[in-house]
Amino acid sequence: MAKPRRSRRPRTTLIILVLASITIITLDARGGLDSLTSGVKSVASDAFSPIRSGVDDVVEPIGSFLAGSVHYGAVRQQNQKLQDEINHLKSQAQQSQQTQEQLQQITALLHIPYIGNLTTVPAEVNDYNSSNFAATITISVGRDQGVQLNMPVVTGAGLVGQVVEVDHTTATVRLITDGASSVGVLYATPASPNSFASAVGQGAGKPLNVDLVPSGTTLATGTVFYTSGLNGASFPASIPVGTVTEARTGLTASQETVTLQPLADLSRLRYVSVVLWGPSS
């Protein structure tokens, strides 16, 4: 059986197009046939337009994808640089804030108005020791600097605590928020300018509870309580202790429920002063 003859028309058409292209190029190079070549170019453009369009549809997305990949990498790299710079600036700002706070604490220790003529020894806080009920700090001065047991420790803002352990170069201070701390305090009301009570610690980060405030006592929020300085007291008189955050009728008829916020920022202590004072001073 004879094989069907393939049509020679496509091959003939291709040969004619090639010859025509060569002829047009030759005539165009010699000049004078601009109008003819322009028309032929237009026809050729129309003929190959669908092919070019199809190729563009395939090639352009690939190009866009590749370009997008390159740009994505650059954008990601730039974003990382920006994030690194933000983190660096945040670190600088935090360090600057901490430095500013330390400077304020040191400056406040240079002149503590409520201490009067009492001698103080400045110290740096070396360590915090706290649990749910206990709260102490270790400071960088000891017996060699004149520090002794039971001496008060303060900041420019108010009372911090009391020395409970001491060696030659360091001391441990029980903070007023410690569960074992009790401070004799003095407060004023419209009815009584000199009223006495006791501020008791409840644990690190917690307010002080005040005992012995008689039932019916009117206390405004923000009222300041000071150390009482009574004979035999553990602290000299007039050291600010805390401000009233709550005052309400207690569960018993004998006293009010009162809480104090310590005036010294006990959670951010860096520098303190030991007051060289004892009950017999």
Q: What CATH number corresponds to the domain at position 222?
A: 2.40.10.340
Point out the domain boundary residue: 110, 143, 178: 110
Write the pLDDT tens digit of every residue in 170-217. 999 999 999 999 999 999 988 888 899 999 999 999 999 999 999 889
Q: Is residue 5 part of a domain?
A: no
**The Cα angle at residue 28 between residues 23 and 31, in degrees rounded to 5:** 135
Task: Identify whether residues 272 and 188 lie together within a single domain.
Answer: yes
Q: Is residue 34 part of a domain?
A: yes
**What is the residue-averaged pLDDT of the chain?**
79
Task: Identify whether residues 125 and 193 lie together within a single domain.
Answer: yes
Task: Identify whether residues 136 and 226 lie together within a single domain.
Answer: yes
Task: Identify whether residues 86 and 136 lie together within a single domain.
Answer: no
Number of domains in the chain: 2
Which segment, 71-75, 83-87, 130-134, 259-263, is predicted with the most confidence on average? 259-263
Write the pLDDT tens digit of every residue in 91-129. 777 777 777 777 777 888 888 999 989 999 999 999 998
Q: Which of 177, 168, 256, 194 is CA-nearest to residue 219?
A: 256
Task: Identify whether residues 141 and 104 lie together within a single domain.
Answer: no
Task: Identify whether residues 122 and 88 lie together within a single domain.
Answer: no
Q: How far apart are CA 224 and CA 197, in angstroms?
A: 13
Task: Identify whether residues 75 and 152 lie together within a single domain.
Answer: no
**The Cα angle at residue 25 between residues 24 and 26, in degrees rounded to 5:** 90
Q: How far apart are CA 123 and CA 142, in angstroms?
A: 9
Write the pLDDT tens digit of every residue in 24-53. 555 555 554 454 445 544 544 554 455 455
What's residue 48's pLDDT?
45
Point out the domain boundary residue: 78, 110, 142: 110
pTM value is 0.66
